[in-house]
Amino acid sequence: MRKLGKLLAKILAGLVVLALLLLATFVAVNWAPDRPVSDLEARWATPPSTFIDIEGQRVHLRDEGPRDDDTPIVLFHGTSASLHTWDGWAAELSQDRRVIRVDLPGFGLTGPPPSGDYTLEAYVRFVRALLDQLGVKKCVLAGNSFGGAVSIAVVNAMPERVSRLVLVDAAGYAVDSVSVPIGFRVARTPVLNRIALVTLPRSVIESSLKNVYGDPTKVTPELIDRYYELTLREGNRGAVAERFRQVPPGAAESTIASIKVPTLILWGARDRLIPLEYGQRFHRDIQGSELIVFEDLGHVPQEEDPERTVLPVKAFLAGK
């Protein structure tokens, strides 16, 4: 028995050494330290990008279209995305409307807030300060995924400043996902999310994007580059883990039925992260809302097919 015990101990020790060697190899091969924002601006903050100070944080912003628009359109992206997810919509809508989009705190070139606060209440304070600084008294809000949850929190906190609401595959309910991107699973997993602070296989970004697209063949190398590089922005990987920790699923659920502003709901039927049943639930819970479903699109329809998905938005804004 003693010999058997020694043998098992040797085997266990060997397995531990092997695991450590494999971990060291993985870290070495996929080593990807944070990149300073100054290294990323040349590519991802080209005109009309600008930066403004909001509550002591330097915020990446694009403000386009006619300045005499008294009800601008404000666009909020989802977790791990950036203002670039709205490029197609902004190009179309800014022809005759003022369109404002930002990298929300914790994401894109804006990066983590000094407070480390990622609660919905903190995002509401941020949006209030943003609107005040830009002189926007009333706006149309549109949000995708987590940006939808932020929009819901804003419209309930200050309904007098929101004229219309557009929810695009929005977060809000506690969700039973069909499939979760690997990047999100890593960010939610202790130990793995610590390793992820200094490693980032490009394949993780590619797999995550293909997971949320209705048609994975639309995920281009350029799109992967954007998400990969902005994920490496200093502090963003830790921010994603904190965002998941501080805003539990369903954080906005109790307030959804309180929404009274005209609401358009857009949904990709192939969304596996927040399936269509939740878009249908938004439609039931928000009185007078309109639901439009795109059968072939996924979780980010505004990015996957901006030309088609912006059309019902334009009709909605025109009151048709």
* 13 and 117 both lie in a single domain: no
Model-level pTM? 0.92
* 70 and 11 both lie in a single domain: no
Judged against a pLDDT cut of 80, whether residue 135 lies above it is answered with yes
* 14 and 103 both lie in a single domain: no
State the chain's maximal CA–CA distance in angstroms.
86
Residues 88, 142 contacting (CB under 8 angstroms): no
* 44 and 6 both lie in a single domain: no
* 119 and 4 both lie in a single domain: no
- By the 10 Å C-beta count (0-12 exposed, 13-18 middle, 19+ buried), 252 is classed as buried
* 24 and 154 both lie in a single domain: no
* 16 and 80 both lie in a single domain: no
We report the CATH number of the domain holding residue 83 as 3.40.50.1820
* 156 and 23 both lie in a single domain: no
CA separation for the pair 93, 167 (Å, rounded)? 16
Mean pLDDT of 129-142: 98
* 192 and 112 both lie in a single domain: yes
**First-to-final CA distance of the chain:** 82
CA separation for the pair 17, 12 (Å, rounded)? 9
Give the range of the structural domain holding residue 18, as residue numbers without chain letter.
Answer: 1-30
Q: What is the pLDDT of residue 23?
A: 44
* Tally of domains within the chain: 2
- Tokens, residue 8: 């098992």
* 90 and 5 both lie in a single domain: no
* 280 and 199 both lie in a single domain: yes
pLDDT tens across 212-257, in order?
A: 999 999 999 999 999 999 999 999 999 999 999 999 989 889 999 9
Please state, in angstroms and as integers, the Cα–Cα distance from residue 255 to each residue in 93, 149, 154, 250, 316, following that order. 29, 10, 11, 10, 23
- Tokens, residue 56: 């002591």
pLDDT tens across 15-68, in order?
A: 554 454 444 554 555 667 999 999 999 999 999 999 999 999 999 999 999 999
* 42 and 18 both lie in a single domain: no
